[in-house]
Structure 1
């Protein structure tokens, strides 16, 4: 599985953002975030942009780090 899940997990841990915070910012269920973080499934291409945008709302530095890692 993918690079997106690894990048997302690292960013959430580094910036102490919970899966729930990200899910709320994205307007999706936390179980989706969980699947991505633990690489059960990969986010679709449009979801990558949504992840970045949600991280931007929570912490712009987190969004930048996610973009660099991905």
Structure 2
């Protein structure tokens, strides 16, 4: 699986946000977050947006980190094209 799970796992571990805490804010079962975390299932685009919103509520810097980890290559490419 992919990029979202890796980005989520790294973000949650770095900022010490529990899977349960994220699940509560997202109003989903903890098992859903666990499947993303362990890269068994990737969240869809709408869910990624909801994850970002939830992380912004919990820790805005964690949200920025998640975005950077998830979209890093795309963001860097965009920045190069803007120059």
TM over 0.5: same fold? yes
Structure 2 length-normalised TM: 0.83
Structure whose alpha-carbon radius of gyration is higher:
2
Instruction: Measure the CA separation in 2 of the matches of 1:45 and 1:2.
Output: 13
Name the structure with the higher helix share.
2
Q: Where does structure 1 lack aligned partners over 5 or more consecutive residues? A: none
Runs (4+) off by over 2 Å: none
CA distances 1:14-35 after superposition (whole Å, capped 9, x unpaired): 0000000000010101000000
Correspondence list, 1:1-70, <5 A: 1-70=1-70
**Structure with the greater relative contact order (CA < 8 A, sep ≥ 6): 1 or 2?**
1
Q: Where does structure 2 lack aligned partners over 5 or more consecutive residues? A: 71-83
Instruction: Measure the CA separation in 1 of the matches of 2:45 and 2:65.
Output: 18
Q: For the aligned residues, what is the CA RMSD? A: 0.4
Structure 1 length-normalised TM: 0.98
Aligned residues between the structures: 70
